[in-house]
């Protein structure tokens, strides 16, 4: 059990008010309305402590890391590495050397596809994903399958937007070398039964990557208990800076993989004849890294764990339940009604195009995402070109959800 997430209390309305005060952007007005930010699955807002940490780095100890002997560089290096320690603790990894800093979930998946998959896959081998994946967990596998002659297989979903586990199990065989599954669907909010899916994949000898972009901000993750081989998430979705992500990989796997990119800092020795690489994770961190990103991510994780992921999860479920009931009352067409869902509500409004609705909502200061959510196969499955997606964070409130539904009611009136 991951003990990095300690609090198990529930938030009171006063707690939520205090939390909201930590996020300066929540005070702004858009089109003369208070900003109602319901696009958290896209990117999350940043608490003041994260913003302050970035400012402090640039004001007080801006320097490159791992390469200088002077004080501010040592301070920056220590702060960057402290972030790695924090991430390892957050995921309950068995060591810091299992945590690679990358640009985001997208880069993490590409790294695994190219460094783990490409040297190993061959014709006849299979990579298995699901029909729920974000494009970031489809295209890198298509690329590596084209490069190696391996075959991409897709486990189907049902009309609730859940992976059909029996079909997933049927798709697994000794040919399956890699399974790549999203922990939580960004388009629908479905929470996949990943512990079971990982165990089933391991039973046929496959290595498993979990795309945790949508899960890490909402639920405690314990990579050792899950026994996943790789786990990826993005800092910007978890209240940290943009441009940084995390790849967790089991030590033995990272050690066996060639570097993804070459450059400074990832080497022990370079000559024109031969280069010796650093050990993981440095082998995978070529060039100057997103130093302030890592520093900010640590502060974001501290903040999140101080609030407590259990309390966060509980409150976000309350918001989801509240919004789902209103959606039913307003006869919205909800897309994705899995039994286990994160705080994401995808829907369409009558036959009005999602982009039109999104544009009108913006006039009320409401930010939702309208589109295919980088999950075109999901849209095709439900025969819709796009959906509206409201995704809730712990700083959202029921009264903001009321604003959304009031604006939707007005939108419907306009189109009558
Ligand atoms: N995987 C999932 C499940 C995601 O939701 C996203 C981004 C990514 C991967 C890619 O993350 P990145 O940080 O590397 O870009 N999802 C979304 C979204 O739902 N709306 O905009 C981006």
Residues in the chain, how many? 416
Packing angle between helix 48-60 and helix 71-91, nearest 10 degrees?
150
Please give the distance, rounded to the nearest whole angstrom, from the Cα atom of residue 135 to the centre of ligand 1. 8
Q: What is the value of pTM for the model shown?
A: 0.97
Q: Residue 335, SS3? A: coil
| Residue 390 counted as domain residue | yes
What pLDDT, on a 0 to 100 scale, did the predictor assign at position 2?
47
String of DSSP letters for 200-267: HHHHTT-EEEEE-TTTTTTS---HHHHT-SEEEEEGGGGTS-TT-EEEEE-HHHHHHSPPSS--TTSE
What pLDDT, on a 0 to 100 scale, did the predictor assign at position 6?
44
In the chain, % helix, strand, coil (3-state, to 5) comes to 45, 20, 40
* Residue from 105, 219, 240, 386 to probe ligand 1 pocket by mutation (most atoms less than 8 Å from CB): 105
| Residue 321 counted as domain residue | yes
Same domain, residue pair 334 and 222 = no
Same domain, residue pair 292 and 320 = no
Of 305, 332, 353, the position where a domain reaches its end is: 305
Same domain, residue pair 118 and 25 = no
| Annotated catalytic residue 374 | yes
Domain with 385, as residue range(s), is: 13-47+308-415
| Residue 3 counted as domain residue | no
- Weakly modelled stretches of the chain, pLDDT under 50: 1-6
Of 246, 278, 305, the position where a domain reaches its end is: 305
Same domain, residue pair 158 and 252 = yes
DSSP one-letter code for 135: G
| Residue 5 counted as domain residue | no
- Alpha helix positions (H), 289-375: 291-307, 309-329, 354-363
Same domain, residue pair 359 and 393 = yes
What pLDDT, on a 0 to 100 scale, did the predictor assign at position 8?
55
> Among residues 145, 305, 374, 403, which one is catalytic?
374
| Residue 57 counted as domain residue | yes
| Residue 298 counted as domain residue | yes
Of 305, 334, 353, the position where a domain reaches its end is: 305
Taking only Cα atoms into account, the Rg of the chain, rounded to an integer number of angstroms, comes to 22
Same domain, residue pair 176 and 73 = yes
Same domain, residue pair 262 and 242 = yes
> Are the CB atoms for 177 and 147 separated by under 8 Å?
no
Same domain, residue pair 286 and 333 = no
Per-residue pLDDT tens over the stretch 63-118: 999 988 999 999 999 999 999 999 999 999 999 999 999 999 999 999 999 999 99
Same domain, residue pair 41 and 63 = no
Domain count, the chain: 2
Pick the atom of ligand 1 nearest to 236's CA.
13
CATH number, domain at 59?
Answer: 3.40.640.10
Same domain, residue pair 261 and 374 = no
Contacts of 337 (CB under 8 A, 6+ apart): 160, 161
CATH number, domain at 27?
Answer: 3.90.1150.10
Please give the distance, rounded to the nearest whole angstrom, from the Cα atom of residue 21 to the centre of ligand 1. 27
Residue 346 near ligand 1, beta carbon < 6 Å: no
| Residue 6 counted as domain residue | no
Q: Residue 37, SS3? A: strand
Same domain, residue pair 175 and 121 = yes
| Residue 65 counted as domain residue | yes
Same domain, residue pair 266 and 336 = no
Residue 240 near ligand 1, beta carbon < 6 Å: no
């Amino acid at each position: 059990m991951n003990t990095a997430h300690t609090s198990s209390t529930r938030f009171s309305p006063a707690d939520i008010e205090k939390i909201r005060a930590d996020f300066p952007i929540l005070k702004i007005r858009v089109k003369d309305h208070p900003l109602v930010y319901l696009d958290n699955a896209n990117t999350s807002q940043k608490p003041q402590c994260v913003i302050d940490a970035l400012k402090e780095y640039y004001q007080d100890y801006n320097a490159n890391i791992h390469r200088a002997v002077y004080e501010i560089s040592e301070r920056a290096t220590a702060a960057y590495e402290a972030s790695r320690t924090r991430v390892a603790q957050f995921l309950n990894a068995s060591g810091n050397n299992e945590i690679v800093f990358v640009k985001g979930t997208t880069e993490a998946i590409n790294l695994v596809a190219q460094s783990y998959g490409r040297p190993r896959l061959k014709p006849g081998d299979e990579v298995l994903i699901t029909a729920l994946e974000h494009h970031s967990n489809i295209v890198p596998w298509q690329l590596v399958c084209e490069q190696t002659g391996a075959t991409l297989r897709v486990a189907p979903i049902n009309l609730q937007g859940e992976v059909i586990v029996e079909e997933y199990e049927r798709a697994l065989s000794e040919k399956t070398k890699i399974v790549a599954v999203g922990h939580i669907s960004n388009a629908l909010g479905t929470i996949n039964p990943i512990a079971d899916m990982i165990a089933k994949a391991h039973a046929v000898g496959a290595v498993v990557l979990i795309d945790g972009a949508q899960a890490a901000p909402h639920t405690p993750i314990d990579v050792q208990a899950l026994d996943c081989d790789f786990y990826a998430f993005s800092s910007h979705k978890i209240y940290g800076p943009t441009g940084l992500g995390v790849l967790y990989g089991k030590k033995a796997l990272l050690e066996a993989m060639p570097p993804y990119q070459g450059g400074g800092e990832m080497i022990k020795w370079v000559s024109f004849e031969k280069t010796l690489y650093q050990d993981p994770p440095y082998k995978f961190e070529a060039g100057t890294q997103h130093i302030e990103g890592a520093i900010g991510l640590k502060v974001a994780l501290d903040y999140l764990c101080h609030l407590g992921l259990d309390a966060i999860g509980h409150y976000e479920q309350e918001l989801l339940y509240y919004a789902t009931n209103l959606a039913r009352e307003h006869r919205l067409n909800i897309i994705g009604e899995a039994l286990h869902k994160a705080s994401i509500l995808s829907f369409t409004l009558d036959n009005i195009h999602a982009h039109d609705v999104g544009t009108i909502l913006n006039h009320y200061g409401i930010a939702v995402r309208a589109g295919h959510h980088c999950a075109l196969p999901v849209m095709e499955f439900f025969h819709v070109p796009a959906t509206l997606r409201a995704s809730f964070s712990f700083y959202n409130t029921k009264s903001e959800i009321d604003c959304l539904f009031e604006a939707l009611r007005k939108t419907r009136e306009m189109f009558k």
